[in-house]
Amino acid sequence: MIIRTVRQADYSPISDLLMTTFSKSQNGYGGEAALVERIRKDPTYKRRFEIVADQAGRLVGYGLLSNVIIENENQSKTGLCLAPMAVIASHQRQGIGKQILTELEHRAALAKFPFISVLGWPDYYGKLGYQRASQFGINPPFPAPDDTYMIKAIIPDGLSGVQGTVHYLRAFGM
């Protein structure tokens, strides 16, 4: 299996992967495939932050980072958010999600982005170094259980002095 940057030929299989994987998840399908299409149209979209897990030509995992801004009355700081990330059911619990996230974090650090935020399972993301965003004075722009909205510094001091509300791309519809 290889983790690689997305290709245009992957777009349809990615949509299928997202619809199938999220439809079978506890929270259900929430329009993730359409979200990805909208993010790709945003001027801040960077192909290097959209990757797949490719097993002999079959896509078994996917991850996408897009820009967010944490803002308060005194400052703003641009970072990234992970949304969506998915691994097909037959390949879950094999470390593929971790490999995808590790590669995305590496690419984010090379590009000098300070942090990645995520709305997700605290048991999973907590093991990968993500912490409750609220403990840094960082809040999502939507209601979410406190333990599910997390953040991780990707570069040294990436969260130093950062506080406020996270603002997503228009693609997210917020």
CATH code: domain of residue 87:
3.40.630.30
pLDDT at 29 over 60: no
The mean pLDDT of the chain is 94
Distance CA 58, CA 42 (A): 27
For residue 86, what pLDDT band results from cuts at 50, 70 and 90? Answer: very high
pLDDT value of residue 90: 85
How many domains in the chain?
Answer: 1
pLDDT at 49 over 70: yes
Contacts of residue 164, defined as CB under 8 A and 6 or more positions apart, other chains included, come to: 70, 71, 72, 75, 76, 137, 138, 139
The rounded percent of the chain whose pLDDT value lies above 70 is: 96
Q: Which residue has the higher pLDDT, 173 or 51?
A: 51
Give tens-digit pLDDT for 101-158. 999 999 999 999 999 999 999 999 999 999 999 999 999 999 999 999 999 999 999 9
For residue 22, what pLDDT band results from cuts at 50, 70 and 90? Answer: confident
Distance CA 136, CA 111 (A): 23
pLDDT value of residue 25: 66
Phi then psi for residue 137, to 5 deg, are: 75, 25
Q: Which residue has the higher pLDDT, 25 or 143?
A: 143
pLDDT value of residue 26: 67
Which one, of 154, 169, 159, 166, lies nearest residue 103 by Cα?
154
**Joined tokens for residue 164:** 């406020």
Range of the domain at 88: 2-172
Find the farthest-apart pair of alpha carbons in the chain and give their distance in angstroms, rounded. Answer: 50
For residue 89, what pLDDT band results from cuts at 50, 70 and 90? Answer: confident
pLDDT value of residue 67: 98
